[in-house]
Amino acid sequence: QVTLKESGPGILQPSQTLSLTCSFSGFSLSTSGICVSWIRQPSGKGLEWLATICWEDSKGYNPSLKNRLTISKDTSNNQAFLKITSVDTADTAIYYCAREGSRTFAYWGQGTLVTVSS
């Protein structure tokens, strides 16, 4: 059974760095073809893909966030991470991690709400 669970700080202040963790089970990020992605959704709005990391350590980033994103993984502990630097109120959203296979998001976590506020 594939499960994913996101964790984060809940609330942080503008200009800080957001650190998110995706803990998963039921698959390994060392398996060929498997990737984990981060997607976010501001309240009442649509979905925005942020970044992907794959089994062989290839990475993809959404250029709309320029150089603010860093994705990484800990294969031994079944975790993936996302850092977003210099956050502002526009980064307030629910952040999801998802297992990606065949370029589709087959399994999603429950999401973690991140609020950026002074």
Partner 1 sequence: DVVMTQTPVSLSVSLGGQVSISCRSSQSLVHNNGNTYLSWYLQKPGQSPQLLIYKVSNRFSGISDRFSGSGSGTDFTLKISRVEPDDLGVYYCGQGTQYPYTFGAGTKLELK
Binding residue count for partner 1, defined by CB under 8 A: 23
Cα distances from 45 to residues 27, 63, 110, in angstroms, run 30, 20, 17
Choice between 16 and 59, CB closer to partner 1 = 59
Q: Is 65 left (phi over 0), alpha (psi -120 to 50) or beta?
A: alpha
105 scored as a contact of partner 1 (CB under 8 A): yes
Residues 24-83 that bind partner 1 (CB under 8 A): 37, 46-49, 52, 60-64
Name the nearest CA neighbour of 105 among 59, 48, 63, 64.
48
Piece of 15-23, 67-75, 78-86, 101-109 that binds partner 1 (CB under 8 A): 101-109
Name the nearest CA neighbour of 91 among 72, 69, 76.
69
Choice between 2 and 11, CB closer to partner 1 = 2
DSSP 36: E
10 scored as a contact of partner 1 (CB under 8 A): no
**Contacting residues toward partner 1, per CB under 8 A:** 37, 46-49, 52, 60-64, 96, 100, 102-111
